[in-house]
Structure 1
């Protein structure tokens, strides 16, 4: 890779992203706002148009969109080492907190009452409901896309599991390509990241090799570690539309297979809302809960690896690819489909595992109102939910 003209020290990039990783609450959309303020307005590492182009690329790709934007910014400043420094800095704080939390539950789970866990699950339901509403307004603004969303939700409920969800994504993309009008293009501005097409092909080949090879190796070697790597890598390869969309995919992998209980799964997801940084660090909690201290970093690397491989693989071809109207239309369909997946998840397993009484429903409504109307930070709502669960439930 040929670096950008103004190379920066990876250590300085790490420190900038570490500060963002310690303070960036609010989810992927908020993260993109923090990045814009830091790197466009304040530091001027990118132009406004370049940043918009970068967001468009990362929204097009599956994976952790805000983390991919961060990786690309580091890539533009210091090559591959810059991308690594940006990812580690932004991810480290929340990953460490969630690994410690998972180990605390494993060692002192009796200290956390059933009420606290139930309160966390209720807040998780409110967070998912907020995500569904916000994504529906943005990604399904017209009748065809709302209809596609509803069909996707119904299909996901009728055909549960990873393969049903993959079918929803593929069919939604095909429907979008055939039925939806493509997006109008904004003014273009080339990104200051120069990766050769040959390097891009190598990265994409590695992505495909891992996606196809990990399940084969896990089956042949009968290795639980390889099963975990395969499950989290595949999840990271299929997530469109933000970190909340990984919830049904991970639930189908780790809960349905009996690797972790649904109560602990939802409690960890609720706790993930209380920490800054990317939602994909939920993988660190799950890995640590399943395999101890070493499991957290293992699952974290597995779920983020596709985000990096796809980013650096597609970058050399992005300008030509995004100019094709049918590709743009297909992505509109995919986006509507993932909102449908999240809507199905809100009912099953999130709602059915958290809402058992009118009091539960009322508390979920209060938490949702605090998030949407009160504009409270998610971590405050999570802490309040845990406290109410401890005192009341």
Structure 2
């Protein structure tokens, strides 16, 4: 990469990430493989240690890991605008497609049958089940985490509060710090030994201002919501809060956004599930699901503007955190309490997904064939078959079977 900013043009950064955004299927784990191959092995913008430092930071911060990794690469390559170019290139393909899906969906929605939506709901259930299993294996390593995960799921299931999901994440972080006194909590944010000295060039002057900007919306948005309640303000609050409390993977946005938009009646469950199913077929970040939701919300009179607002707001915390925290890497990496809190939060987010999984199973599974279908989908997701091919192929076949039997 070189050891100074301004080494790559903005257009080059945008085009490289745009290409990645068009072909990066498979979720965050696959995205990180693409990034490593492109920026470490091929272009040599980063060496192994520099890449490892950026990845470690992206993993311990809330938000979409692969998107934050991308904008971090853009940031150290060409400063703040470089980060914007990287994010825009990587996000634009999926955001545009999801917005088009929302617009077309409004026109086609009345013509879709109940069986079609039933298959979509089962596809979503299968994806969530697979995501839960992956997160359980990677995020819960010790007995106390399994216990915390179970209590989280039970609390959410039996105590339906407006902010209960955010509440359990905060409490779980505190539990992680307390439990650390009695259990050895491993700092598993990376498998590599990483230098504590920051190896990438960043702008350290006044970096704390970005962190102040990150916390301001938590104070301002609730006041605005009380003074001028509207769908626009409520949507701002939801997208910003969701992105600020998402740990462990993009799938965790599903229960958070479902609670804010489906449970409140702003969007039907069928439209929500349809968008989430399509989001699995898209390359690039899963957070582009926000583009779909935004396009269907009556925030303004413009569908396109609504999609842009939702997309920008849900990614804003990532920018503020990367700009604000990366310059202080050498301090952050030494703070054991951060990793202890994250160990607790990881258990809680798996519990949130478990609660959603139980609720969805109760609503969506109505016959034994549904269970067989879900098992088949999960089995195929474990193979090397492309996700989009698995989801489209299995849903098409099961939809045909249901029509033949009806």
SS in 2 for 1:44: coil
Task: Give a deviation string over 1:171-222, Cα, whole Å, max 9, x none.
Answer: 2111211213243583315241312252x22111111112221232133123
Spell out, residue by residue over 1:23-80, the C-alpha distance to the aligned partner (whole angstroms, 9 max, x if none). Answer: 0111111111111111111111111122122111111111111100000000011111
Q: Which runs of 5+ in 1 are unaligned?
A: none
CA distance in 2 between counterparts of 1:10 and 1:135 reads: 36
Q: Which of residues 346, 352, 369 is equivalent to 2:362?
A: 352
Aligned equivalent of 2:323, options 291, 312, 318? 312
State the match for 1:388 in structure 2: 397
Note if contact 2:5-2:79 (Cα within 8 Å) is conserved in structure 1.
Answer: no
Match of 1:85 in 2: 85
Change (3 A) 1:271 1:385: farther
Q: Which residue in the other structure is 1:108 paired with?
A: 108
* Cα 1:162–1:131 shift into 2, 3 Å: farther
Q: Tell whether 2:378 aligns with 1:368.
A: yes
Q: Is residue 42 from structure 1 mapped to residue 42 from structure 2 by the alignment?
A: yes
Q: Which residue of 1 aligns with 2:306?
A: 295
2:18 is matched with 18
Determine the C-alpha separation between the residues in 1 that align with 2:334 and 2:173: 17
| Counterpart mapping for 1:87-166 below 5 A | 87-166=87-166
Distance of 1:202 and 1:42 partners within structure 2: 35
What is the Cα deviation at residue 273 of structure 1? 0.3
Distance 2:52 2:160 in 1: 36
Question: Residue 337 of structure 1 aligns with which residue?
Answer: 348
Q: 1:323 and 2:330 equivalent?
A: no
**One of 212, 219, 228 as aligned partner of 1:221:** 228
- Secondary structure, aligned partner of 2:297: helix
Task: String of CA shifts for 1:259-289, please: whole Å, max 9, x gaps.
Answer: 0011211111111001111000000111112
CA distance in 1 between partners of 2:187 and 2:399 (Å): 51
2:255 is aligned with 1:245? no
**Alpha carbons 1:233, 1:302 under 8 Å: kept:** yes
Q: Which residue of 2 aligns with 1:230?
A: 237
Aligned residues: CA RMSD: 1.8
TM-score normalised by L of structure 2: 0.91
1:114: how far off? 2.6
Greater shift in the superposed pair: 335-344 or 68-77: 335-344
Post-superposition Cα deviations, 1:149-189, rounded to whole Å, max 9, x if no partner, equal 22222222223355211121112111211213243583315
Q: Deviations over 1:7-30 (max 9, x none)?
A: 211110111001110001111111
Shift of 1:312: 0.9
Structure 2 distance, partners of 1:346, 1:318, is 36
8 Å CA contact 1:248, 1:345 repeated in 2:
yes
CA contact (8 A) 1:367 1:381 kept: yes
* Aligned counterparts, 1:207-218, within 5 A: 207-218=214-225
Q: 1 or 2, which has the higher helix percentage?
A: 1
Give the equivalent residue in structure 1 for 2:68. 68
Residues 218/369 of structure 1: CA separation in 2 closer, same or farther (3 Å cut): same
Task: Provide the rounded CA distance (Å) in 2 between the counterparts of 1:191 and 1:343.
Answer: 39
CA distance in 1, matches of 2:159, 2:211: 30
